[in-house]
Structure 1
Amino acid sequence: MLIKTYVMKNVSQNTNYPIMRVILAFLFFATNYLFASPFATWTSTELTLNNGLVQRKIKLPTTEGNFITTSYKPVNGEFKYFSAKITDFQFEANSVSYCGLSNWSLVNIQQISDKNQGDGAAVTLQSADKKIEVTINFLLYPNLPVIRKSLTIKNLGANEIALESVDVEKLNTVSYWASTFSWICSDYGRRRHIGPYEGNMQDALVIIHNMDWASGIVIGNEATGVLKRTSAYWNANDICAGLTHKEARFPFRKWIKSNQSFETPQVFTMVYNNCKDPNEILNTVVPDFIRKNMDIRLSALDEKPTFVYNTWVPFEKNINEKLIFELAKSASDAGMKEFVIDDGWSSNYGDWEIDKEKFPNGLKPVFDYIKSLGMKPGLWISVGSASTDSKVYKEHPEWFLQDKNGNLTNNHIEVEDHEMKSACFSTGWKDYMKGILLKLSLDYGLEYMKLDFAVVTSAYIFDKEKSGCYASNHSGHKDHNESFYTNYQQMWTLFDELHAAKPNLFIDCTFEAMGGLQLIDYAMLKHAEGNWLSNFDGVAGANTDLRVRNMAWWRSPAIPATALVIGNPQMQDKGWDMHIKSLAGALPIMLGDPRKLSDQDFKKYRAYADWLQLMEERYGIMSYRQDLANFGEPMEGSWDGFQRINSDTKSGGIIGVFRHGAIESKRVITISRLDLKNNYQVKKMDGTVVATLTGLELNQKGFTLTLDQLYTGELFEICKK
């Protein structure tokens, strides 16, 4: 306490010495954290989790008994959702079901923490049959109503066990009122349902909201790809989140050997009350937690991308050194910050040797030239595919996926493709690809990797049997069901090892590698920075822009907007400036042929690029995105918009406002997440001030914007006066 008092006193007295002030401020927050009360306390019969915002009480078994949550609610106010006897968790081991209601003996409880201010407890239990030990890990975070949870399951028996149907959270609700009158906001929190619901791979985030009670539950599922499962009132009055069950389309299974353990993915939940609209939660505490405490790769980046160019459209594989040099010069003149060479640079898939006819001097001089122009070089690679004429395929056929008949197969596309096969990450393939990718990044200077094509499941094959790996001789998985989980995890391990070698490497893990159409989730965010989310081909003009804004709205703010890499708007399209304005709500990326731009277009592009970079430098806009108040899903005949306000510093940010065929030409624009007492200016990109208002006035009164064209939009800076 004396240390804290000393630090607080000196922080206030050393205002004229900035370095000293920073050091002392750090010491204050560090000591405040170190000397704070723990978020988990316990007696011999009860564990209490409480961070001042949320409280969960759990009955502990004494000699033998249940492990059940008896109360889970916001600290202040009432909360009617949960019953007084909550199952807490459930899983199957060798088809035997274990849950909080089973008989357990308490082994121990210990305090735990993580590197992102998480604090809590780990409770270890032993099953009555002495075959299973489970540790339930709880973490809470400062100033957020979040409880994050995982299970560590240990096999105490002599024989291997199959772990399946894992519900990390299993929350029992009261009957009738909870299920009958609640909205189930699924699909990244954006789609509303009534009644029993079983989610799928797109349910990284689900919100259960009761309008009459003005309360609800946020469920964030950090399981990977097609293996996540979140349900509400599906088989009973309960809410479950964890891994897919054994009867699912893509079932989770993990074989655990004797005396070994498996830790599940985490699930986070938030309970709230006094909230009329679930979008308020979706736009505030959810992105705050993801940005600050989830340990996502984007938050670790020192420098986030602001304007990316990619060669895929219109050139596809028809690229060479001369063309890339020309495109790079034009892209640089247009203000691009990253330049990504897509498919077509290699002699085949698998060996990833440079096509010497196209690039006679190799790629390093190309990357060096791109860097000399002030851009970061990027490259497309299929992370899990090889050509049948490749050296690696011929030498190591045992590294490749087998179908149910034992044949080597291509899990990416539904065609008779004898020229490409899919590799299995549960083999030596992972380390082989690590060597390839490390050489490209460390020796050649690659800074952006677009890693593509199916690894576990396909975005385009809908026959569930044509997925995963059926091989019985691959060391990483014992059977087909286990291959789903292991291959995802090996891909994440590869990404982590690449980042360890090159921390600021930007990895774009495409939806094809994720295994589902437009699929992105929290597991990916913890191992890769971005996700090539969509390909909007052949749709120039307003339809392209609407699709871009709709996709960005749909996935955010549950998913950080800068992780959303949305293709394929082209630089030379008529009305291209609307592409950039629309993409400013995600990760701005353009394709096309920049050589076709006029001198005037180059100047306009450079103005957009410089403005976006300036906004990032001033406000860190690429770390934030919120819905613009009173604007909904982008659609024909309406207005839509977004804001990227720095909600931590309240210093400002940008907004984008769009009229898409709406009858009315005027709208009142309000802005949230600013300091209510400060004065702010709303500026056009050229610096023209259109409004000067306090944060409170911008939030409650706003300013009137007129857009005369039916299909148009504008970007504005919001800055402190």
Structure 2
Amino acid sequence: MSSLNVKLSNKWLERTMSIDANGVLKTSSIINKANNKELLLPGGEEFLFVAYYGELMRILRCEQFQYVSHDINQLADGSQAIFYLELKPQLASGASPFAVGGGANEIEDNVWCEWDNDLGNIKVEVIFRIYEDHPVIRKKLRIINGDKVEIRLQDLAWEDVKLQKGLNRHVQYHYFTRQALQVTDSMDDCVMAVTWDGEDHGLLVATEAPGAMKRMELFKNEDKVRLLYNNSEETIFEWTLGRNETFETDAGFLVTFCGNWQDAVDGVYHQFVADKLAICRVDTVPGFTMNTWETFYNEINEQIVLENIEIAAELGMDAYQLDCGWYEAHGNYVPHSLKFPNGLEPIKAACDKHNMRLGLWMSVPVVAVNSPVALSHPEWFLSDENGDKGFMVAWKDTGIMCLQSDYKYWILEQMDAVIKKYGVELLKLDLAAVRDPYNPGKSIGCHSRNHHHPTQKSSNLGIYRSMFWIMDELRARNPNCLIDLTFELYGVLHGTDLAHVQHAHQNWIANQDTPYLDPFRRLLHTRSRIVPSYTLNFGSCHLTEAAAEQYGFWSALLSHGLYYGDLRKLSVAQKKHYQKWIAWVKAYRSELDFYAYSKVSNIFDAPDTPDHVDRRFNRYSFYEAGRVASQAARWDGTAKLNNEGEGLILIFRPSTCSIEESFIPFPWMRKNRSYQIVDVLAEKIMGSYMGDELCTGITLKMPLAQSVLVLQCKISE
């Protein structure tokens, strides 16, 4: 056949797909059009996966598929290109399957002839999405089994390209807090930056695979960048395709940029995620919410909640959320007869009276072993490798239900009924489904043979997809309810990513209380680099504690106002304090919604406290999860500014930091504009400055440890 080049392009990025004379599709060029730099080296695989026919295995690469045709369709915000490929006959491709366990010994051609069929026994569609308003091209695969027998897919990579060499090439990873020459990561990172020292450009590489299923390999094998499913740690990918069944991978994407890579993360990357991926809209997020969890744990009742709602309304809170403990038992979501003898109707009425949104908590997969659903349907339990029911940590009075059984239909109806009965507008969905983040190696997927997954490995991604189906159904049925899919349900300690934000509005990423505010801000800083900050929920400070009045109150506002506390314990002075500042924030948010922005550039590093790492690497106890004492020795902060440089800059001096004065540039300002800077907490104007002066920097002072500067920036022309 004749060779062919197809250019996939917007005004920032061009990716050329070439079909050679043998019908092989490959990426032949990736150009940053802003500076006309070629980023690609030849030699990438484009995609690859392992296909099993029973115990016969074959590694299938793009070169073993024959180009058939392609379509390019114009869309409202860009275009979509689909390249249609079919597997070549075995003899034409020059490859043979081999038996698992047989080493390098290949099976003779006359023993296995399925690979010699006419073209078409396996088809692949390579799908690209090109955006005209973002420097982004997304890619995914669709694999169709046209063969006579079932096949199993493993080791699936939907992106495999080589990038330009250079001794000065680096990868920025671990939520952009670390740098290395090569990186391999499973479960945690969903986006990394490739930079070349001395070069004024780079590339962001992102995966949309979910939770514990994602894996990124950047330069593990020389110059290769590979996006694939987890193939080595706990939740290993596998998918079974019957005849004529289709599997569609999650997507990945490339973002080109010029200039500072930090600004590319804050700018073009964040804008794309907020505009095209995240379903949460910032104007739907309550300004201020109270949550009952760490203040009361399970010990909530009608009197406690009603008294707290009255004070929350007095303070100006927008929402009140009952966490774990309002119901009879996990899996039996009727109000607890002793704690709430009148049901939740009085709670709902109190919220309605004060125009507050009601929030509740529910477990999606975990049920009490003596609950009606567990007794009626023991076949729905997730089974471990020994055939026993799976459970979280040491909670043996509960069990995990498999979301790839018919349980998913039952729990959807339970949650939908609760939302509708009580007018729930915030729903926190919790507890482990695919892996227990507190107990690595335990309850990994489901070993049952009677559910909707052929194998244990195939249940891993399958459970995520069932989880997302539940979230999508709940949102469709209840468009006014914000859905919080917690990190426990998501299966990665303090984890969030680009798949999560496409199916749930928010993610409870950690439980933190007042003594741990600096590590809490590190979590907000690092996770806000990869997803919008307003999608992050958290256990934050108790408003009843002294450190909360300024330091804790504003720490939470790096995302949004979400707090703990028994409000009955607030003094008259504390109530007046919170009334004043809650009213100020709400008024300012109506003028400029600073919740929408989170920028750090290369000015504000993440707080220098220890990371909250998954217990795959650090086996700390359950009650240490997310609680790390501060060791911070420097200031930290975030600019919550719009593209004109208007908004708030929040700067914190930790209790362990001795620095009283610092010179800080504000590179987010328009150089030719004049700004007025207001010290919000001191309630005074600091001065007027030209944007170029602010970009160079100004000297700021915080004489007291554990304090915060809140700077309001406003164009004064």
The interval holding the TM-score normalised by the smaller chain is 0.7 to 0.9
Alignment equivalent of 1:592, drawn from 562, 565, 574: 565
Pairs within 5 Å for 1:685-700: 685=680, 687-698=683-694, 700=695
Looking at structure 1, the residues matched to 528 and 348 of structure 2 have their Cα atoms a distance apart, in angstroms, of 33
- Indicate conservation of the 8 Å contact 1:611/1:685, yes or no: no
Tell me the CA shift for residue 524 of structure 1: 0.8
Tell me if 1:124 matches 2:87: no
- Indicate conservation of the 8 Å contact 2:667/2:696, yes or no: no
Tell me the CA shift for residue 254 of structure 1: 1.2
Residue equivalent to 2:614: none
Residue equivalent to 2:629: none
Pairs within 5 Å for 1:330-409: 330-409=311-390
Tell me if 1:514 matches 2:501: no
Residue equivalent to 1:201: 187
**One-letter code aligned to 1:297:** I
Residue equivalent to 1:10: none
**One-letter code aligned to 2:23:** G
**One-letter code aligned to 1:187:** H
Residue equivalent to 2:67: 105
Looking at structure 2, the residues matched to 689 and 199 of structure 1 have their Cα atoms a distance apart, in angstroms, of 47
Looking at structure 1, the residues matched to 574 and 665 of structure 2 have their Cα atoms a distance apart, in angstroms, of 32
Tell me the CA shift for residue 633 of structure 1: 2.0
Looking at structure 1, the residues matched to 389 and 207 of structure 2 have their Cα atoms a distance apart, in angstroms, of 33
Residue equivalent to 1:47: 6
Pairs within 5 Å for 1:24-43: none
- Indicate conservation of the 8 Å contact 1:364/1:445, yes or no: no
Looking at structure 1, the residues matched to 190 and 680 of structure 2 have their Cα atoms a distance apart, in angstroms, of 35
Residue equivalent to 2:505: 529
Q: Residue 124 of structure 2 aligns to a residue in which SS?
A: strand
Alignment equivalent of 2:213, drawn from 222, 227, 249: 227
- Indicate conservation of the 8 Å contact 1:53/1:143, yes or no: no
Residue equivalent to 1:701: 696
Tell me the CA shift for residue 689 of structure 1: 1.9
**One-letter code aligned to 1:389:** N
Looking at structure 1, the residues matched to 589 and 156 of structure 2 have their Cα atoms a distance apart, in angstroms, of 41
Tell me if 1:619 matches 2:619: no
Looking at structure 2, the residues matched to 365 and 710 of structure 1 have their Cα atoms a distance apart, in angstroms, of 44
Tell me if 1:504 matches 2:504: no
- Indicate conservation of the 8 Å contact 1:667/1:706, yes or no: yes
Alignment equivalent of 1:490, drawn from 457, 462, 466: 466
Tell me the CA shift for residue 600 of structure 1: 1.4
- Indicate conservation of the 8 Å contact 1:536/1:569, yes or no: yes
Pairs within 5 Å for 1:96-175: 96-111=58-73, 113=75, 117-129=77-89, 130-175=120-165
Residue equivalent to 1:431: 409
Tell me if 1:683 matches 2:678: yes
1:333-381 C-alpha deviation (Å, 9 max, x unpaired)? 2222221101111111112121111111111321221232232111111
- Indicate conservation of the 8 Å contact 2:367/2:401, yes or no: yes
Tell me the CA shift for residue 190 of structure 1: 2.4
Q: 1:618/1:651 Cα in 2 relative to 1: closer, same or farther (>3 Å)? A: farther
**One-letter code aligned to 1:697:** E
Looking at structure 2, the residues matched to 403 and 359 of structure 1 have their Cα atoms a distance apart, in angstroms, of 36
- Indicate conservation of the 8 Å contact 1:242/1:267, yes or no: no
Alignment equivalent of 1:579, drawn from 542, 552, 563: 552
TM-score (structure 1 length as normaliser):
0.87
Looking at structure 2, the residues matched to 103 and 375 of structure 1 have their Cα atoms a distance apart, in angstroms, of 58
Tell me the CA shift for residue 251 of structure 1: 1.0
Q: 1:159/1:327 Cα in 2 relative to 1: closer, same or farther (>3 Å)? A: same
Looking at structure 2, the residues matched to 623 and 126 of structure 1 have their Cα atoms a distance apart, in angstroms, of 45
Q: Residue 548 of structure 1 aligns to a residue in which SS?
A: helix
- Indicate conservation of the 8 Å contact 1:468/1:481, yes or no: yes
Alignment equivalent of 2:227, drawn from 224, 233, 241: 241
Tell me the CA shift for residue 327 of structure 1: 1.1
Tell me the CA shift for residue 61 of structure 1: 4.8
Residue equivalent to 2:197: 211
Tell me the CA shift for residue 527 of structure 1: 0.9
Tell me the CA shift for residue 302 of structure 1: 4.5
Q: Residue 626 of structure 1 aligns to a residue in which SS?
A: coil
Tell me the CA shift for residue 278 of structure 1: 2.3
Looking at structure 2, the residues matched to 625 and 451 of structure 1 have their Cα atoms a distance apart, in angstroms, of 26
Residue correspondences, number: 655
Residue equivalent to 1:91: 49
Q: Residue 554 of structure 2 aligns to a residue in which SS?
A: helix
- Indicate conservation of the 8 Å contact 1:61/1:105, yes or no: no
Tell me the CA shift for residue 232 of structure 1: 1.4
Looking at structure 2, the residues matched to 188 and 487 of structure 1 have their Cα atoms a distance apart, in angstroms, of 25
Looking at structure 2, the residues matched to 460 and 366 of structure 1 have their Cα atoms a distance apart, in angstroms, of 33
Residue equivalent to 1:445: 423
Looking at structure 2, the residues matched to 272 and 100 of structure 1 have their Cα atoms a distance apart, in angstroms, of 28
Tell me if 1:185 matches 2:182: no
- Indicate conservation of the 8 Å contact 1:136/1:149, yes or no: yes
- Indicate conservation of the 8 Å contact 2:32/2:39, yes or no: no
Residue equivalent to 1:719: 714
Pairs within 5 Å for 1:563-574: 563-574=535-546
- Indicate conservation of the 8 Å contact 1:628/1:671, yes or no: no
Tell me the CA shift for residue 602 of structure 1: 0.9
Pairs within 5 Å for 1:251-266: 251-266=236-251
Q: Residue 328 of structure 2 aligns to a residue in which SS?
A: coil
Residue equivalent to 2:280: 298
Looking at structure 1, the residues matched to 666 and 538 of structure 2 have their Cα atoms a distance apart, in angstroms, of 25
TM-score (structure 2 length as normaliser):
0.88
Residue equivalent to 1:659: 653
Tell me the CA shift for residue 202 of structure 1: 1.1
**One-letter code aligned to 2:234:** R
Q: Residue 209 of structure 1 aligns to a residue in which SS?
A: strand
**One-letter code aligned to 2:488:** E
Tell me the CA shift for residue 65 of structure 1: 2.3
Looking at structure 2, the residues matched to 588 and 61 of structure 1 have their Cα atoms a distance apart, in angstroms, of 56
Looking at structure 2, the residues matched to 558 and 174 of structure 1 have their Cα atoms a distance apart, in angstroms, of 25
Residue equivalent to 2:524: 552
Looking at structure 2, the residues matched to 611 and 584 of structure 1 have their Cα atoms a distance apart, in angstroms, of 13
**One-letter code aligned to 1:55:** E
- Indicate conservation of the 8 Å contact 1:313/1:568, yes or no: no
Q: 1:711/1:241 Cα in 2 relative to 1: closer, same or farther (>3 Å)? A: same
Q: Residue 70 of structure 2 aligns to a residue in which SS?
A: strand
Q: Residue 84 of structure 1 aligns to a residue in which SS?
A: strand
Q: 1:100/1:614 Cα in 2 relative to 1: closer, same or farther (>3 Å)? A: farther
Looking at structure 2, the residues matched to 512 and 689 of structure 1 have their Cα atoms a distance apart, in angstroms, of 44
**One-letter code aligned to 1:426:** Q
Deviating more after overlay: 277-286 vs 685-694: 685-694
**One-letter code aligned to 2:290:** Y
Please, which runs of 5 or more residues in structure 2 have no aligned partner? 90-119, 609-631
Tell me the CA shift for residue 272 of structure 1: 3.2
Tell me if 1:421 matches 2:403: no
Q: 1:244/1:629 Cα in 2 relative to 1: closer, same or farther (>3 Å)? A: closer
Alignment equivalent of 1:638, drawn from 634, 639, 644: 634
Tell me the CA shift for residue 101 of structure 1: 2.6
Tell me the CA shift for residue 568 of structure 1: 3.6
Pairs within 5 Å for 1:264-275: 264-273=249-258, 275=259
Looking at structure 1, the residues matched to 588 and 208 of structure 2 have their Cα atoms a distance apart, in angstroms, of 31
Tell me the CA shift for residue 701 of structure 1: 3.4
Residue equivalent to 2:612: none
